[in-house]
Structure 1
Amino acid sequence: MNERLHAPMSRLLSSSRWIIPLILCLLGTAYVYWENIILDGYLPTSPQTVLGFFLLTLCSPLLTMFTLHWAYRAALLSEAVEEKREQENQHLATLNKIGDEINQSLELDVVLNRTIDRVLELMSLQSGGVRLLENGQLILRTSRQVSNNFVESEKIVPLGQCLCGQAAQTGQLIAVEDLGKSSTYANTTCACEKFQSVLSVPVRTAERVVGVIHVASQVPRVFSTDERALLMAVGHQVGVAIEKARLHAQLKALNQQLEQRVIGRTRELVDAKEELMRKADALHQVLTEERRIEEKTRAHIAHDLHDSVQQLIIGAMFETQAARDSMNKHPENAEQRLIAAQLLLRQIETEMRSAIYSLRPTALDAHGLVPALREYALGFAQHSGVECNVSVEGIPRRFNPDGEVAVFRIVQEALHNVETHAAAQHVQLHLMWNVRDLHAEILDNGCGFDLAEVTNQTRTHLGLIGMQERAEAVGGTLKITSHSGEGTRISLRVPVN
């Protein structure tokens, strides 16, 4: 509406500012001529008539001409202001349109592709690309209407090099409207691509430059001031969108990492639960096995007592009764009967000690861990035929009774396994004492075993689990290292404070 009114007004005033004063001058002359010459029949000579003629034919047209000229200039100014406002509205509409399109997605690649498409459409161009600044280099992320050679050679542009690098470094728009006349850029890849006019716009946020929009034309092109200002505004808008897309990508990556951590933690918890259930089941089996061994031991002791001690007691009773009878009838035989009874009683004592030792070694309570282990190793070597050496490093000392019993039983179980499974000729028991803990190593030269395979064998596995449980019960750790044909090493650490 305003455009239809203002444009004809300026054109009308442009011609009227000369025509209307001329018409007024002619009308004034005709009026004076008609009134004084035609009607009165003589030339006007009076001062009043001459003054009236001057006012009608000269002053009034001049005043009208000045007034119309001022109105014409005012109309031109109004049209310029309106045109400027219209351009600003168009620029804002263009920015809003571009902003709406690039903000529809938070995916960085989608934002970059929409950006170059809208900018090329805005500039009525076909060739261009978008570069992002990464580690001091501009990386070409998307392009339009350029050769493969251009993409390969311009994939990475250092900061400050060529138009794009300079635009990113300075943060200013750089335009070359005729590459053929530019000595600075005549040999660039853009010139080889037969571009005539190129323009690089920095893409920036409020704090920093994040990339460059590069457009080009194969025919000479003048980039107006309004176009440059609009492209700078687009660069700011795109910079915000790119930063938002990057933040979205970072947030997405963090969410994925968090999800992976949650999945991993959940898996760990599930595995831990399964491990606890497995250990609980293994512990139940160990306890069941211990009860079975305890009942077997009791039965064995009862059998031994019945077969040996009880028979010896009966024999001793017969000998003492025979000695009593001989006191009256055959006194010379009484002493022999008493000696025989003493021998039987000593055997009974030995059998009882053996039975008691199998339940709990008395040397452990009386003398401590090292003497008890030496005594047990000696007995083990005698009845198994496997050479067993005990070495001690550091200063031995007494510590928690439960810990001493645990170490003794673990060594006992380990030597039992050597005798039963290892087919070894030699086993070394090394005890290392320090301020905080006792480190015991049992090393044999036997056949060794596959730990994973043995784990699937219930009876042997239960023995290993029992050793592990005993160590953990007193705050210690147990490590078993073995390979088929290479012997076995058992490392035990138990706190002694």
Structure 2
Amino acid sequence: MALSLRETLRVLNSNRSLDQILQFIVHQAREVLSAQAVAIYRPVDQSGIMQIQAQEGLSDTYVRLARIPFGRLATGNAAVMRKPMTICDVNQRLKNRNLALDEDSEAILLQLSTHYRALLAVPMIFPRGEVYGTLDLYYDTPQQFNDEDIAIASAYSDQAVLAIENARMGERLAQAAVLSERDRLARDLHDTVTQTLFSASLIADALPVLWEQDEANGRMALQEVRQLASGALAEMRMLLFELRPEALLSADIFTLLRHQVDAFSSRTRVKASLRAEHFECQMPADVKIGLYRITQELLHNIEKHAQASEVQVILEHADPDPQRKLSKLHCRQCRKCVRLVVVDNGRGFDQKAVTSDHMGLRIIQERVDGFNGRMDIHTQPGAGTRVEIVW
């Protein structure tokens, strides 16, 4: 039992889904509590009916049939009375005419009696008092459940409830993260694409008049519309990548960086270029996504702080540093490192005045550490900034 509780605590601290947690609970309970079958019952909405949410060892027929109202049989009574309930002998319960059974309850017990003879139902109650459901243990012989049997089952149920609560909290956090990301993308769509298209629309509306008044100004306005449309297209491509994570994984690093640079240039009107070597070796997904996110963060910092007029992004091979051993992540085929360089001609900064825990730099450093890379920053006030990432 102690080993089982430790295993349950291990699962409690894992990132498994709720369905995986429930299936683990019934499997573990069946082994540890020496039951022939185990089921977790949950109320169905506000109907007052409990149904099986996870089980091991029960027949498909019984699982379909087992719809137990609150206050009926051991399962429904355990949920309502918030304490363990037992049926020590199913056959004797069916024969006892002093305890009337409705038609549905009798059908459930009849089906149960074809395989099992005893049942222990333990309520699953969260620390704050909410009843999650019941943990039902089924035995193929009649049982005389004593206080120790019930206490052990209840202790297991308490640990199981904590694991369920942890899984539910994880799902809520994941849902919150999805909503937060959706809000961020909506803001990006409004701040970039929507405003760009609105500007293009205004210029396009005025273009016929400008052309008639001054053809040179009209041509300049037409060029502005082209640039705005191109910028909106670049931003939309970036947003589509963000909406489809599988697209990030399938795209090559050059495509990802090209979209980053194009979107940055169209958004900021800063001259930006990309120079990238062709890589024959396959770059690991975590490194590719890491370099993509690092470039994204660096370009964001330039836009926000640098006041630059020109930016260059470089992706190239580099010879390994003889003073540093190759990590297991480096390409063994070409025996080369990958170097990402982002350079701007902006105002630079005093590195001594910017601590290592600065949010932007810390995020980038964590990403670099994530794929065992190295980051070097070369900058000084008034002299631009060069950030070099080597993997």
Query: Under a length normalisation based on structure 1, what TM-score does the superposition of the two structures give?
Result: 0.38
Using the size of structure 2 for normalisation, the TM-score is 0.47
- Which of the pair has more CA radius of gyration? 1
Structure richer in helix, relative to its length? 1
Larger relative contact order (CA 8 Å, sep ≥ 6):
2
